[in-house]
Amino acid sequence: MYRNFDFARGFAPTVVEDLHLAEEYLYFMRDAHGCILKIGAAFEDLIVHYVSIKEDISFPFQPTLCDYINLFERKESCPKKIILAMKYLRQKRNLANHEGWSREYDAEVCLVKMHNILAWCIRKYGLGAPTKYQAVNGILEQDTDFRDMFESFLIPGI
């Protein structure tokens, strides 16, 4: 079984557990919808309970995930690719929640984007070195129309 997110266990153990479940949903149960929902929950947990504490972020109101992403974008505390990855994950999770439809390709792209976001966090806070993402059964490689687009999601050096 692949454990692509183990490198972040010391930083965000609950997030890592959710992401391992998301990998199992996609790669072993072929449940893309459940995978995206689990990634969305892990992403929100990461931003609200881990990154916001490290960045000392507080709001005078109950913020949404969109409020956090917009704040990161305004403060320019994240690279543009990470902000775009965050917006993509939020959008796909909302579509999965409200439309109830997800493709395996989208689920694997979400896993890769979440891996990149976690890798950025680990590097930014000096908590170790992230690993390279390993796909289990090559869902992304099967969809050749999107191969170039997928490679643009990757952060160099990861």
Give phi and psi for 11, each to the nearest 5: -90, -50
| Per-residue tokens: 60 | 């005078």
pLDDT in tens, 103-129: 999 999 999 999 999 999 999 999 988
The predicted-structure confidence for 32-61, as pLDDT tens digits, reads as follows 999 999 999 999 999 988 998 888 888 888
pLDDT band at 144 (very low <50, low <70, confident <90, very high): very low
pLDDT of residue 148: 54
Core vs surface per residue 61-100: b (16+ CB within 10 A) or e: eebebeebbeebbeeeebeebbbebbbbbbebbebbeeee
Whole-angstrom distance, CA of residue 89 vs CA of residue 93 = 6
Q: Is the pLDDT of residue 30 over 60?
A: yes
